[in-house]
Amino acid sequence: MDLADVQGLIVKGYAMPVVRHVGLRVDDGPAARRFLGALVDPAAGVPQLTTAAPWEVKPEVCTNVGLTAAGLHALGVADTSLDSFPAEFREGAVTRAATVGDVGPSAPDSWLPWLRDGVHILVSLSGQHQQAVEDATAELAALWQQGYTECGRADGCALPDYLAHFGYRDGFSQPTIDGLPPAGLPDSLPRPPVGAFLLGHPSQHPGFTYPVPAPPDLGHNGSFAAFRVLAQDVDSFAELLTTQADRTGLSEEMLAAKLCGRWRNGTPLVLSPTTDGPDPPVAPEAMNDFDYVGAHADERGLRCPVGSHVRRMFPRGSRIAGGGGHLHRIVRRGMTYGPPYDPTRPRDGHERGLLGMFIGVSIRDQFEFLMRDWVNDGRFAPGLGRSKDPLLGAQEDGQGRFTIPATAGDVVLDGFSRFVTTRGGAYCFLPSTTALRHLAALSAPAQQPA
Amino acid sequence: MEHPTPVDQPVQNPLTLVMTAKSPESYEALRQIVAHVQSLPPDQNPIVVALDKIATVHFARFVFLGDQRLAVITTYDGDFDAYINEFINEIGDVFNSLLQHMQDASPLPVQTYREEFLQFVRDHDLRCEPPFYSAYPDRTVLDITATAASVG
């Protein structure tokens, strides 16, 4: 495993508080390809692609790049090569929107124009502070301007304590990839193999390696990401907690915990069902080290509701359709955008939400599967009917329904609407270092976008 | 008794997979394979173990149709494609043992050639003349077995 060949964000979180994603469209094929080559050429004098090679010193800024199918075409990749990429990637996020629940207010015709109209390249910068990101942007732009037009950008930065807008501490659950250093908290859960996140290696399905796009120099050690801009309606979420606390007698914090599957401080419900401050506290290394079977068996969801967000996103050993609770893991790289929510100043008119990269070797079997089968439906698990993920799901207005199992009688929350609206997305291929050199060396004439 | 709210389509779907053996000898070999598997006690029966874990198959049966044809007929929940990987992971070896005797079989092992196996199933699945009737159109295997467990 040549870690220097692999983009860093696939295998590690950078833990930097500032992020910027820039969407570019190809104007001039040769110059566009030169830019990609410059990212992996220290002599070129621009910030270099951040790889998975271990750091001696943590850099000020990290640089990564994603290419859409339209982008590969515009860069001059041959049709025979493009045809070897997965179908859902070639179709792209706009075409696949309905599959993942991007309908109604989340449909592409309501997206930010730069994402609705499609990007070719997504340059992603993470920085330890804003100035580092500004400096890197300026240096890279001086070169990308020769081959691309910028069509839009999305900036994010961490809230105090890295909280998410709904008030939760996030980031506890990342897969530990077999054979690589742990990227998140260590746990004793089954480890997905490298091939669940990198093309060209045995996958999480025994005997199966996902087809490597051709030619191998282009496809090998690459991955795929669904880039998403997700707006969060914090006012409505806060109202849900207040209204339902009054109605049910459960505290707002308990309701927030039941909806998510973790208390807002991150303590898993399965480990501590009645308090977010158990004595002794859950150790940091135990925060992701649990299952819904075995020591903390919770088949009915009395501790952690079966339909809660974290249990839907990662059912672990729960009894579900297919029995594959460990087979659809994704790597999540997310950052909040927009100003912090102030409950004393609600409805401030500012958009806020999450910028996310959801990474896996197969968009279809990981990101799309999660959205279609585990977020926007409930039939994968017992007793959920067609209900959707309460935090993330595409509930039609007033159609939200969430059950909190309880021995004294289930508590049902209903009548709520979606809290997250998709503002745009893009399906990106995350090429290896080798692939970027391969693209830089292509001598095809620039093609017009199809 | 209330009638259930009509739904567009039941959650259950029919699989009517009809495969043709390569030769009379292959057909006889299939009879032996199926007879052997069907004779195993449940906890040692790879089909039972797999289907219990997959938890989407309501019913499954083998039927020898004559003319060298073997049918696998099931009722299962949801989308076949969506769970094809889990299906192959759990029950792939059973299909390897059957497909080695079939005409136009997809390349083996199915665990390695998954898209090809999925296409084979699509090509040989007769499904049904729609609509597919269900007495409980919204009840999945998971719903039914959870209820059964809770009433003891």
Kindly report, residue by residue over A321-333, the tens digit of the pLDDT.
Answer: 999 999 999 999 9
CB contact under 8 A, B111 and A365: no
pLDDT for B3 equals 45
Q: Quote the CA–CA distance of A255 and A277 in Å, as a whole number.
A: 16
Contact yes or no for B73/B125 (Cβ under 8 A)? no
Mean predicted confidence (pLDDT) in B93-120: 98
Per residue in A33-62, pLDDT tens? Answer: 999 999 999 999 999 999 999 999 999 999
pLDDT for A188 equals 85
Is B7 within 8 Å of chain A by CB? Answer: no
Is B82 within 8 Å of chain A by CB? Answer: yes
pLDDT for A449 equals 58
Is B78 within 8 Å of chain A by CB? Answer: yes
Q: Nearest CA to CA, how far is B67 from chain A (Å)?
A: 34
Among positive and negative, which fits the CA dihedral A299, A302, A305, A311? negative
Q: Phi/psi at A444 (nearest 5 deg)? A: -65, 145
Mean pLDDT of chain A: 95
pLDDT for A183 equals 73
Other Cβ atoms within 10 Å of A298 Cβ, number: 21
Cα angle value A252/A258/A262 (rounded, 5°): 100
Contact yes or no for A162/A170 (Cβ under 8 A)? yes
pLDDT grade for A136, boundaries at 50, 70 and 90? very high
pLDDT grade for B5, boundaries at 50, 70 and 90? very low
Per residue in A335-357, pLDDT tens? Answer: 999 999 999 999 999 999 999 99
Q: The tokens of B85 are what?
A: 């990987």
Contact yes or no for A297/A306 (Cβ under 8 A)? no
Is A163 within 8 Å of chain B by CB? Answer: no
Q: Closest chain A residue to B79 measured between Cα atoms?
A: A373
Is A322 within 8 Å of chain B by CB? Answer: yes
By percentage, how much of chain A surpasses pLDDT 90? 93
For A412, counting Cβ atoms within 10 Å of its Cβ (0-12 exposed, 13-18 middle, 19+ buried), the class is: exposed
Question: Is residue A316 over pLDDT 70?
Answer: yes
pLDDT for B150 equals 66
pLDDT for B2 equals 43
CB contact under 8 A, A382 and B145: yes
pLDDT grade for A444, boundaries at 50, 70 and 90? low
pLDDT for B149 equals 67
Q: Nearest CA to CA, how far is B28 from chain A (Å)?
A: 29
Q: In sequence order, which residues have a C-beta less than 8 Å from that of residue A274 and are 6 or more positions away?
A: none
pLDDT for A445 equals 56
Q: List helix spans (H) across A263-417.
A: 309-313, 369
Cβ contacts of B138 on chain A, cutoff 8 Å: 385-386
Per residue in A14-37, pLDDT tens? Answer: 999 999 999 999 999 999 999 999
Cα angle value A123/A8/A113 (rounded, 5°): 25
Is B109 within 8 Å of chain A by CB? Answer: yes
Highest-pLDDT range among A161-170, B12-21, B143-152: B12-21
User: Shortest CB distance from A382 goes to which of B79, B90, B146?
Assistant: B146
Mean predicted confidence (pLDDT) in A379-402: 97
pLDDT grade for A189, boundaries at 50, 70 and 90? confident
Contact yes or no for B19/B67 (Cβ under 8 A)? no
pLDDT for A172 equals 84
Cis bond upstream, residue A280 (ω within 30): yes
Mean pLDDT of chain B: 93
Cβ contacts of B142 on chain A, cutoff 8 Å: 319-321, 379-383
pLDDT grade for B1, boundaries at 50, 70 and 90? very low
Mean predicted confidence (pLDDT) in A177-186: 79
CB contact under 8 A, A323 and B53: yes
Cβ contacts of A206 on chain B, cutoff 8 Å: 89, 111
pLDDT for A31 equals 97
Q: Quote the CA–CA distance of A385 and A10 in Å, as a whole number.
A: 34
Mean predicted confidence (pLDDT) in A444-448: 54
Q: What is this structure's pTM?
A: 0.96
Question: Is residue A182 over pLDDT 90?
Answer: no
Cα angle value A318/A321/B146 (rounded, 5°): 65
pLDDT for A104 equals 96
Per residue in A403-415, pLDDT tens? Answer: 999 999 999 999 9
Write the DSSP symbol of residue A174. Answer: -
Contact yes or no for A65/A183 (Cβ under 8 A)? no
By percentage, how much of chain A surpasses pLDDT 70? 98
User: Shortest CB distance from B77 goes to which of A365, A369, A379?
Assistant: A379
Q: Please write down the HEC assignment for all residues of A81-132.
A: HHCCCCHHHHHHHHHCHHHHCCCHHHCHHHCCHHHHCCCCEEEEEEECCHHH
Other Cβ atoms within 10 Å of A30 Cβ, number: 16
pLDDT for B151 equals 60
| Run of H or E including B143 | helix B141-150
pLDDT for A443 equals 82
For A308, counting Cβ atoms within 10 Å of its Cβ (0-12 exposed, 13-18 middle, 19+ buried), the class is: buried
By percentage, how much of chain B surpasses pLDDT 90? 90
For chain B, the farthest-separated pair of C-alpha atoms sits apart, in whole angstroms, at: 53
Is A321 within 8 Å of chain B by CB? Answer: yes
